[in-house]
Amino acid sequence: MAVLLSIEEAQALVLERARSLATEHIPLETALDRYLARDALALVDLPPFPSSAMDGFAVRASDTPGQLAIAGRIAAGRPASSPLGTGEAMAIATGGLVPDGADAVVPIEVVVEKGNNVDIADVASVGAHIRPRAGDVREGELVVGRGTRLGPARLGALAAAGVDRVACAARPRAAVLATGSELRRPGATLRPGEIYESNGLMLAAQLGQAGASVDRLPLVPDDEAAHREAIRRGLELDILVSSGGVSVGPHDLVRRIERELGVEEVFWGVAVKPGKPVAFGVHGKTLVFGLPGNPVSSLVAFELFVRPAVLALQGAAEPLPHFLSATLLRGIRRNPHRTELARARTRLDDHGIGIELLGGQESHMIARAAEADALALVPRGEGALGAGETIRYLPLG
Ligand code: AMP
Ligand code: MG
């Protein structure tokens, strides 16, 4: 591990190799959290017709103030059968089609209905309480751009604009492989020297959250044949993420077996703490990530290198982590050699967002990391950062 890459260099090497997967057309109903492969345009004007913003009376503004004859009643989805005449008003519900001839709506709260007439005391201005046709978006205009993730609001916007199917890159299929002879599944009884396996579940959860469909491979001991068999299966999918066995010990088999199976290693070693021995390679179209076994290293390396790849395969326009800014609540020492992603908690107060590092920053301390809601980015360098300085952080989902 002679030269360590910077985080940004390593991310660039990953993204160069993470091309968007083939496009499929899917029902909007199933498109939550998918990324658009093409711009989605409005199929209709929105609103499609001038509609009332209030329950009230549709009138000609020039007839107000005054007493008007009620010429009809309009509900949402039930337009008037004839235009509004001079001296007339029509009762109209919110969302009702404003009839031809009307150019204002007077809210029900400010009128007095008397039999078949309505008294309007004030002058109505032209356009009052009318949502003009296409005031939101015009037919053919952009509703959601390509590369954008479809959250609930965007799904709603597309449905409103008449879109029922969208073009999205396929969801990546990912394999997760946990390696280590010391690992037991939770629920089993531990023998001396054993620990519970946690990375497989954690990585599967991170992959699933990022949009991949996940295939968890059986846990493998530090045995060559078992590694070979499991890795071969993982190489059939779009992404293989393994944990453990990428350091320099005699039992660290992952990189050697991967190389033997034809994986071209792109890098091994990034100047980041935790996560330094992370390995990345490719095998045909499969992206192959070897994450270090310490659980916090796995967690962090996933966020920095694997999540961007999963998002890029889905065609995300901005696959890299989105860091935010916060004010340090307590001073911290910097690491001269490696940028650190420290487990931290954020706090919102009158001055904005403050951030504080948690105790227990070692890379095996996953229970401590569970308290974190953020990874604070502490850039490598000499000296300390004082309370009150601004640093960047990555929110943890
Ligand atoms: P390794 O990267 O295989 O040298 O593992 C580094 C440390 O992480 C060791 O203490 C392992 O026991 C631990 N470890 C490796 N894989 C896992 C896992 N899947 N779950 C929990 N701990 C692990
Ligand atoms: Mg190991």
pLDDT digits (tens, 9 = 90+) for 69-92: 999 999 999 999 999 999 999 999
CB of 363 closer than 6 A to ligand 1?
no
Distance (Å) from CA 294 to ligand 2 centroid: 9
Token pair, residue 312, equals 């890029």
Residue 139 has phi, psi (to 5 degrees) of -50, 130
Distance (Å) from CA 180 to ligand 2 centroid: 4
Distance (Å) from CA 25 to ligand 1 centroid: 41
The pLDDT of residue 224 is above 90: yes
pLDDT > 90: percent of the chain: 98
The pLDDT of residue 1 is above 70: no
Mean pLDDT, the chain, integer: 97
Euclidean distance between CA atoms 179 and 249, whole angstroms = 14
Q: Which whole-number Å values give the CA distances from 99 to 71, 190, 390, in the listed order?
A: 11, 76, 57
Quick: pLDDT tens for 106-146.
Answer: 999 999 999 999 999 999 999 999 999 999 999 999 999 99
Residue 186 has phi, psi (to 5 degrees) of -55, 140
Q: Which of 37, 67, 79, 73 lies closest to 55, judged by CA?
A: 73
Which residues, by Cβ under 5 Å, contact ligand 2, an ion? 180, 244-245, 293
* Among 177, 191, 199, residue to substitute to test ligand 1 (most atoms within 8 Å of Cβ): 199
Q: What does the pLDDT read at residue 3?
A: 80
pTM: 0.95
Token pair, residue 317, equals 């326009």
Whose atoms come closest to the Cα of 297: which ligand? 1
Q: What does the pLDDT read at residue 397?
A: 77
Euclidean distance between CA atoms 248 and 269, whole angstroms = 11
CB of 292 closer than 6 A to ligand 1?
yes
DSSP helix/strand/coil, 266: strand
CB of 297 closer than 6 A to ligand 1?
no
CB of 243 closer than 6 A to ligand 1?
yes
Whose atoms come closest to the Cα of 294: which ligand? 1
Lowest mean pLDDT among 9-13, 99-103, 247-251, 328-332: 247-251
CB of 197 closer than 6 A to ligand 1?
yes
CB of 274 closer than 6 A to ligand 1?
no
The DSSP-derived string for 328-365 is ESS-EEPPSSSEEEEEEEEEEETTEEEEEEPS---TT-
